[in-house]
Each structure stands twice: as structure tokens, then as C-alpha cells.
A and B are shown apart, each in its own frame.
Chain A
Amino acid sequence: RKEVEQDPGPFNVPEGATVAFNCTYSNSASQSFFWYRQDCRKEPKLLMSVYSSGNEDGRFTAQLNRASQYISLLIRDSKLSDSATYLCVVNRNNQGGKLIFGQGTELSVKP
């Protein structure tokens, strides 16, 4: 079983739709959590950190459920420019720099 698992998609949605991505992680010692965005043939870029209380950045909302070892990302009012692959990332802080990435979920927003 992979340490971080995501539905690979693709998710094909119309502009303006709300879309949710889910991610599960297997190591209960994981301490920090992130969502990254990766455009085709580009480097991953940090979208947002994920906190236990949940956090929001504009149209994006991230949630963490430590008991269920589950992370989510909600995108409201999807834009064409949101089309990308979204990567779920966890870090076991007791292992310093070891960030583990999920395979990513591909999102395609259509006009």
C-alpha cells in the first residue's frame, strides 16, 4: 500500500463547478501536510499547507482529519486556469526533510 494515496482522476468539470479531492495517508506519525499544484511539464508549486483546524485561501479550502488520516482539497467556482495535477504531500517531521508525495489527481476544467 502506498504511504499517500490519491484518486488519479482525471476529473473533468465545467467552469464554475465545485470539485473535491481526497487523499489518505498511512503513517500516523505524519505531522505536516500540504497541497501542491503541478502544471504539465513544470515543477510542483506549493498551493497551501493544511492545518488541523482547516484553512481557506480564496476559492480553495483544505481540511485535515487526523483520526481518519484523511486530507481534502475543495475548489469552488473552478476556472480554466485551475486545470493541473494536484498533489497531496505529507511529512513525518521526526524524519526531517522526508516529504512523501501522492501520485496526484488530474483536473481538467472545461468552458
Chain B
Amino acid sequence: NAGVTQTPKFQVLKTGQSMTLQCAQDMNHEYMSWYRQDPGMGLRLIHYSVGAGITDQGEVPNGYNVSRSTTEDFPLRLLSAAPSQTSVYFCASRADRGLGYTFGSGTRLTVV
């Protein structure tokens, strides 16, 4: 099993550009989440999903969209990139709500 795979690992965007961060898991996990991590702020939840077709907002959802058309994939879309979205983004999945998450290796995004 590959676990949780995130692509790309690094990305530089110009202000106003849009892009999609990809996340895929091959463990048949129902629960998936996107977090961003900034210095001094810790990990903050952007969006999460409890199964295919079901998504909900986390703590910092503005400027991001998600969809969950399959169990395996949970892409994160930046609609119009802003410098404030410069961060490290982590995707995570877990099998059951009582269990811990497995994280992907992250995407380092810089918006200039």
C-alpha cells in the first residue's frame, strides 16, 4: 500500500492563479481531511470528509473548495491564490472516527 499520496510536493503560484492539490489514499478509508500548517499556528483544519459525496468545513475553509467523488480521492482547490495561502498542506485519512489519521508527506505551496 502507498498510504496517502499527495501531489505536487512543491508548488509556486502567482497571486490570483488557481490550482488543485491532489490527495489519494489506497486504504479504503472513509474519513479524509486537509490541514494547513503555518509557523506558530499549528495544524489547522481546512475541510474534511466522512465519506464519498460528503464534505464539511473546518476552521479555515475560506478560499478553498473540496469534493469527494470517490473514496480514494480528496482534491483541494485553491480558487484564486493569495500570499496568505503560502503554507504547508497536509492531507490525511483514517478508517474510523475513533482512530488516528495517517498523513501524506505534504505539499509546500508558495504564493508570490
Binding site for B on A (CB under 8 A): 31-32, 34, 36, 42-46, 49, 87, 89, 91, 93, 96-104
Contacts and interface: CB of A to CB of B under 8 A. Distances in A.
Given A43-B90, A103-B40, A103-B41, A97 B50 contact: yes
A19 B105 CA distance: 28
Given A97-B48, A98-B45, 5 more contacts: A46-B100, A49-B99, A87-B42, A96-B50, A99-B101
For chain B, the bracket of interface size reads: 20 to 34
Given A87-B43, A103-B41, A97 B49 contact: yes
Contacts of B40: 103
Contacts, number: 64
Query: Top 6 closest A-B pairs, CB basis?
Result: A103-B42, A97-B31, A43-B103, A96-B50, A46-B100, A101-B43
A96 B56 contact: yes
A102 B44 CA distance: 9
The interface centre, meaning the residue of A32, A45, A91, A97 with most chain B CB atoms within 10 A of its CB, is: A97
The interface centre, meaning the residue of A31, A42, A44, A101 with most chain B CB atoms within 10 A of its CB, is: A44
A98 B35 contact: no
B54 to A, nearest CB: 8
Contact of A101 (B35, B97, B98): B35
A84 to B, nearest CB: 14
B103 A97 contact: no
A100 B45 contact: yes
Contacts of A104: 42
B100 A43 contact: no
Contacts of A97: 31-33, 48-50, 94, 97
A91 B48 CA distance: 13
Given A43-B105, A44-B43, A96-B31, A34 B100 contact: yes
